Amino acid sequence: MNRQDEKRWWQYGYVWLILAGPLAVIIASFITLNLALKTPDAVVDDYYRKGIEINKTLSDPSLAPAQQARNHAATAGGVEH
């Protein structure tokens, strides 16, 4: 038996170079998970509230002529080809 190198696997720099990338990704994913769980998502709450307000204005009968004109323009009704 020829024992030229008796170092353990963790004593090689190349091992740590190879393991550094995956370890950094794992640590970053836990940091991202922590931020996602602790930080409320205010955009979704505000979006829902604005959607309810839009639905209230769309059900207003005084806006019926404007809605009909908008729908007529969107469907290209009455356009001669």
**Amino acid letter, residue 52:** I
For residue 54, what are the CA distances in angstroms to 43, 63, 76?
Answer: 16, 12, 24
CA 9 to chain centroid, in Å, comes to 40
pLDDT tens column, 3-54: 677 889 889 999 999 999 999 999 999 999 999 999 877 666 677 788 888 7
CB atoms within 10 A of CB 39: 8
CB atoms within 10 A of CB 7: 7
For residue 67, what are the CA distances in angstroms to 13, 24, 25, 43, 77?
Answer: 70, 54, 51, 28, 14
pLDDT at site 81: 46
